[in-house]
Amino acid sequence: MRPIVHLQKVAGIAGSEVYLLSLLPALRERGWDVRLVMLHEREPGAQEFARALDARGVPIVPIPLAADVDAVAFARLVRRIAQLRPQALHTHLVHADFYGQLAGALVGVPVRISMKHGFNEFRELGSFAFADRLVASLAHVNVAISRGLAEYLAEVEGFDESRFEIVHYGIAAGAEPAPYPGGARLICVGRLIPIKGHLLLLRAFAQARAEVPELTLDIAGWGPLEPALRALAKELRVEDGIRFLGPVVPVQPAVEEAAIVVLPSLGEGFGMAALEAMERARPVIASGVGGLIDQIRHGETGLLVPPGDAEALAAAIVELVRDPERAAELGRAGRRRALERFAEERSVDRMELLYRSLLPDARS
């Protein structure tokens, strides 16, 4: 059987990388010859990802990039795809779409799949939207990781929402979570970039702390926004209640120590951090955007607040901190939903069904 080649640019291990570390080994276990071509800029996080994927038995081919637009890397990619002769090329994220869909079309890969994973500020630029739709037209199938993301791409970039296949991320059940700790410790998990909403979170945290002085906040993640966040914490006079944890892998132990997981994203393709929190039976307060709406049922498995609304976020934090019994119940209900609706096996099943529909002669 000719391979199915996945292509992604990797800088570290975040939502889409966690997904690939789950999906690709599971597909190989089911008999599919999947492998990854990894574009990277020699980041330590990319090497960490490569080691993790290799340890799971998935062949990986690294191709370094000297810049966002790298003709030499593109030529290497074309040669590699021609050598592999895949029956399908499955691209993830913007760089892989632009490099991979063009290379796949040049080589004549029979089936080309583009998978959209997230919201990005640059998608709202008209020039990017046009280019993204043009590249997407080279793919035989476009996949979105949530219905919310498909709606966003239709609204912002002009895609036809009905033409997206939806394949959610999945999560494996871990050991029984530690008992709900109660208390007033919050945690936010995610890259420190503007779209994740950390600036908004700090303002909401300051408002909530005025009512709940014992409130504390852990920020797990890395990114260019950290200096600005530290400066804002000082300006708001809440720096004594905030810990910057940096990258936390695995994140589950830190999540279990918290009473509430807060995800104030301004845009979120899926929100793997929400699913990880739900699997650990911790209540989630999140913005009502993108894939977070797919996961969280407001008032049943967590709380959703309007994106960009610091006052609503602060009120939701105070509400749950003051009602630990309700918070614990939301966490338990969230775990049930995570393991029923977003089980890792269901996600792999959905991708396998998609492959079978596109590759009717494939054997697995």
d(CA 201, CA 311) in angstroms, rounded, equals 10
Whether cis (ω within 30° of 0) applies to the bond prior to 253 is no
CB contact at 8 A, 302 and 232 = no
> Per residue of the chain (364 residues), what is the pLDDT tens digit?
789 999 999 998 888 998 999 999 999 999 999 999 999 999 999 999 999 999 999 999 999 999 999 999 999 999 999 999 999 999 999 999 999 999 999 999 999 999 999 877 666 676 888 899 999 999 999 999 999 999 999 998 999 999 999 999 999 999 999 999 999 999 999 999 999 999 999 999 999 999 999 999 999 998 999 999 999 999 999 999 999 999 898 899 999 999 999 999 999 999 999 999 999 999 999 999 989 999 999 999 999 999 999 999 999 999 999 999 999 999 999 999 999 999 999 999 999 999 999 997 765 4
The residue whose two tokens read 């998978």 is 115
The token duo for 363 is 């054997």
User: Which part of the chain has CATH 3.40.50.2000?
Assistant: 4-170+343-358, 185-341
Identify the CATH class of 4-170+343-358: alpha beta
Summary count for the chain: helices (H), strands (E): 14, 13
299, exposed or middle or buried, with CB in 10 Å at 0-12, 13-18, 19+?
Answer: exposed
Instruction: Say how many C-beta atoms besides its own lie within 10 A of residue 105's C-beta.
Output: 15
DSSP 8-state class, residue 189: E
d(CA 282, CA 257) in angstroms, rounded, equals 9
Cα separations (Å) of 297 from 8, 92, 118, 337?
Answer: 31, 28, 21, 9
CB contact at 8 A, 74 and 99 = yes
Cα separations (Å) of 232 from 202, 205, 342?
Answer: 8, 11, 36
d(CA 229, CA 198) in angstroms, rounded, equals 7
Say which CATH topology domain 185-341 has.
Answer: Rossmann fold (3.40.50)
Against a cut of 0.85, is the pTM above it?
A: yes
d(CA 194, CA 30) in angstroms, rounded, equals 39
72 SS3 class: helix
The token duo for 352 is 């396998």
Which DSSP helix (H) or strand (E) runs through 137? none
